[in-house]
Amino acid sequence: MSDPRTELAADEAPRAADGRVAGRRGQATRQRLLTATRTAVADSPYRDLTVVDISRRADTSPATFYQYFPDVEAAVLALIDELTDAGGRQLRALVTDAAWESGDAAAGLSQGFLAFFAEHGELLRVADLAALEGDDRFRQLRTRLFNGVFLALKDLAHEARAVGAIDASASPGGIASVLTTMLTQVSSHRRGFESWGVSADELAATMAAVIDATVRGDGRASL
Amino acid sequence: MSDPRTELAADEAPRAADGRVAGRRGQATRQRLLTATRTAVADSPYRDLTVVDISRRADTSPATFYQYFPDVEAAVLALIDELTDAGGRQLRALVTDAAWESGDAAAGLSQGFLAFFAEHGELLRVADLAALEGDDRFRQLRTRLFNGVFLALKDLAHEARAVGAIDASASPGGIASVLTTMLTQVSSHRRGFESWGVSADELAATMAAVIDATVRGDGRASL
Amino acid sequence: MSDPRTELAADEAPRAADGRVAGRRGQATRQRLLTATRTAVADSPYRDLTVVDISRRADTSPATFYQYFPDVEAAVLALIDELTDAGGRQLRALVTDAAWESGDAAAGLSQGFLAFFAEHGELLRVADLAALEGDDRFRQLRTRLFNGVFLALKDLAHEARAVGAIDASASPGGIASVLTTMLTQVSSHRRGFESWGVSADELAATMAAVIDATVRGDGRASL
Amino acid sequence: MSDPRTELAADEAPRAADGRVAGRRGQATRQRLLTATRTAVADSPYRDLTVVDISRRADTSPATFYQYFPDVEAAVLALIDELTDAGGRQLRALVTDAAWESGDAAAGLSQGFLAFFAEHGELLRVADLAALEGDDRFRQLRTRLFNGVFLALKDLAHEARAVGAIDASASPGGIASVLTTMLTQVSSHRRGFESWGVSADELAATMAAVIDATVRGDGRASL
DNA sequence: GATGAATGAGGTTTCATTCAT
DNA sequence: TATGAATGAAACCTCATTCAT
């Protein structure tokens, strides 16, 4: 992958097709293309996501698109990349910065995920599908995004097991996996549940209870 | 939905493009197309799912495909439809036929879902995406498939709340939503977890623990 | 043209593809196909006229269509053929059976054409296009249909010239051509004129005046 | 009609599929496509008029065709549009610029129409069919093309009635309709008449006589 | 930097047509 | 007689992609 348009390293400036660092005008165009990609992902089915469509939405031509991205998926990847560093930190903080001794941490975590997916759900849904279908670039980004949460939850489970709050046979990795999946997927399907009569508040509360029960042993450790 | 090729009513025979009931030979062709669709869904990314590809796999021509389905999605839909009745009953039985007094029910439920998705995961993944993207036909089928489980879990939660096993403020609908999502999505992502070092057994055990804690209150009701 | 399905000779019974004379049931099917063709011609643009469409309208299959006609145009030709003998006689009678000494003949002729086209306009419009595009089968049928009127008008013009009612330099063939064209085409475009504010009565009256002036010299011959 | 390729406003530059004004090279290509369309209309039956055929004739690809026109009919429409302004003025002038006091005006008008249709007959024949079949875009263009003649003839009839040259009951609208139809359709069918033994001169002379008789009352007004 | 312009490629869709039943 | 069934063929249409300006 020597294509300069695919580089994702965080501290390098985006390059155009010929390898030049993009100037101010170029940056603006690239950004317009990214924004157009985001809207397109949200508006239309994944199967209809095309270079032509994105260019049209960005008020530019396909030729220009190719100055900045080798294909549609690269643009989607860039979009998720934009999200990953700040987003990953933010999500992890929901676990690490919370006071798990008190009872609010799990609720904050659940609400944080719901909020994050309310803003970025469409994008992440596409990444999820691509990852499931075996695309490694997407798999890696997903990992970078949710890994902080995963590890933090694993640590929590570890400690809980150490202090006897949860069963000794519990697997911290399993717990972190299941809880992370629950958080992302319930958040992702939120709209479906709402149209089914289950409110976001109910979802958040239930998830919080599940998390507490799973990772804090429902508080019984202190008994 | 006046297109005879889209009719889903369970007891009606499939129709061809011109509305006539398909004969024996036609039935066989239709079935071959469905099988080809299933393989194609499993083999190639959703975006590459195409009428030409399916026809080739079924050893027939695109023109023939259109005699039986108006578009690719209709074939996928038919495939899921085939699954829905038997599959829905089977999944619900995992909840309703289990002895929740003993401790094995949750484990059986988790393993049952993992097994079901091992067989039909690729298909359900596509249906999930389509449903998330707003396609109502897929949403309805999903509902029919998982509704039995959802309702059964809701009943369990209701009872648990009634006998004080779980908190009085818990929402049965929320619990059923979260647990159903967990079951389907963890099962769907299983392969990803495995490549990440988390085994299917760990997943099943963790899910079982989560279910028990959420719906049986970890047995504390008997205290 | 040895295809038995194309024979147009008036006194022969229609044949199926294999040359057999069609029985009663076959006759009915053929008639249903013809009726369907008529509706299709009237309903949809000429470019969209297809075997599939006609068969559907006739509640039968394309395979059946081919039992009776080699192609779409043959069905249209058969339709016009049905019309030709009776219609041609009827139209000619409008000229030959009228009392041209009195003043009503031209009005009757004009109204007769308007009525005839009100019923068969769509069909004749297609035949006209096909004839203009060089299809000889259609040209011949058109001739058979309108030739009676043409010849009768030519005779009238001849006589008028003989008695000095119209200019000696007038060409009976030209007059008959122009008047026949006027009658058919004004009748054919009638609906367009109406939407333009010119009533059928005005059209008939004007055509009558034109005919009288052209073929009777506006009555001055009697002066 | 928001498709930029369908805009007909006379003073706007033609647009490509993406809405951008076409540059010099694009203009040339568009023109080549139009020329190819004209030849195709003249050469082959209307039912066979196809994007592939036109593109081939223009030495380009179907994809290119779609950059400039949304469908075949749009190209035909553009062709007629090109014709309309100049052609409409030219035809109207045949009526308005002629000396109707002398006897040559009607002959000039008839010959003018025959000449105009000798050049553009195939195109106008297609437009006529489309208009008859209810396509409004074609109907409007036809109106714009022949409306000048229609109105001018109506004026003539009006004056003739005012000075008593023709019957007081005559309808100027009816007269203009019938005469316009006669001029266009006889011109359009000219070739058919010729193969039938009626020369263009005879047609012109007869039409002239009809026009004079209808709109000048054969000069009797001066009596 | 941006994009007009062109086009090969390929999927979509419909149709005419045939054949065995 | 009628038609299920299949399919080659061909048009339609859009897209990805490139290149010269």
Reply yes or no on whether the pLDDT at D148 is more than 70: yes
- What is the model's pLDDT at position A7? 58
Contacts A46 to B, Cβ<8 Å: 46-47, 129, 133
Residues C127-152 have a mean pLDDT of: 92
Say if CB D191 and CB D206 are below 8 A apart: no
| The CATH number of domain A4-68 is 3.30.1490 | no
By 3-state DSSP, what share of chain D in percent is helix, strand and coil, each rounded to 5? 75, 0, 25
> Which nucleotide has the least CA–C1' distance to A52?
F15
Q: What is the pLDDT of residues A24-68, one digit of tens each?
A: 888 899 999 999 999 999 999 998 999 999 999 999 999 999 999
Confidence of residue B102 (pLDDT cuts 50, 70, 90): confident
Return the closest-CA partner of residue C196 out of D162, D171, D110.
D171
Q: What is the pLDDT of residues D9-66, one digit of tens each?
A: 444 566 666 666 678 889 999 999 999 999 999 999 998 999 999 999 999 999 999 9
Confidence of residue D93 (pLDDT cuts 50, 70, 90): very high
Q: Smallest CA–CA separation between A74 and chain B, in Å? A: 15
**CB burial readout A40-56, b (16+ within 10 A) else e:** bbeeebbbebebebbbb
Reply yes or no on whether the pLDDT at B11 is more than 60: no
C neighbours by CB contacts (3+ pairs under 8 Å): D
Residues B45-74 have a mean pLDDT of: 96
Residue A107 touches partner B, C-beta closer than 8 Å: no
- What is the model's pLDDT at position B32? 97
- What is the model's pLDDT at position B193? 92
CA atoms D2, D8, D10, D16: torsion sign: positive
Reply yes or no on whether the pLDDT at C94 is more than 60: yes
Residues A129-149 have a mean pLDDT of: 91
Distance A77 CA to E2 C1' (A): 23
B169 to A202: CB separation less than 8 angstroms, yes or no: no
Report percent pLDDT > 90 for chain C.
70
Instruction: Closest CB to B129: pick one of A129, A214, A218.
Output: A129
Higher pLDDT, A219 or C213: C213
Residues D144-172 have a mean pLDDT of: 92
Reply yes or no on whether the pLDDT at C171 is more than 50: yes
Residues A189-218 have a mean pLDDT of: 91
Residues C129-142 have a mean pLDDT of: 90
Confidence of residue B127 (pLDDT cuts 50, 70, 90): very high
Distance B7 CA to F4 C1' (A): 20
Q: What is the pLDDT of residues A80-120, one digit of tens each?
A: 999 998 999 999 999 999 998 888 999 999 999 999 999 99
Q: Smallest CA–CA separation between C26 and chain D, in Å? A: 30
Confidence of residue B222 (pLDDT cuts 50, 70, 90): very low
Instruction: Closest CB to A178: pick one of B46, B174, B210.
Output: B210
CATH of domain C72-216: 1.10.357.10
Higher pLDDT, B168 or B9: B168
Residues D83-92 have a mean pLDDT of: 94
Contacts B139 to A, Cβ<8 Å: 192
CA A71 – CA A37 distance, rounded (Å):
12
- What is the model's pLDDT at position C219? 44
C178 to D203: CB separation less than 8 angstroms, yes or no: yes
D207 to C178: CB separation less than 8 angstroms, yes or no: yes
Report percent pLDDT > 70 for chain B.
90
Confidence of residue C144 (pLDDT cuts 50, 70, 90): very high
Contacts C125 to D, Cβ<8 Å: 129, 132
Sequence ranges of the domains in chain B = 4-68, 72-216
> Which nucleotide has the least CA–C1' distance to D49?
F11
Confidence of residue B20 (pLDDT cuts 50, 70, 90): low
- What is the model's pLDDT at position A183? 98
Reply yes or no on whether the pLDDT at C11 is more than 50: no
Distance B63 CA to E13 C1' (A): 8
> Which nucleotide has the least CA–C1' distance to C24?
F1
Residue C8 touches partner D, C-beta closer than 8 Å: no
Whether the beta carbon of A24 falls within 7 A of nucleic chain E: the reply is yes
Q: What is the pLDDT of residues C115-129, one digit of tens each?
A: 999 999 999 999 999
Give yes or no on whether D4-68 and D72-216 have one common fold: no
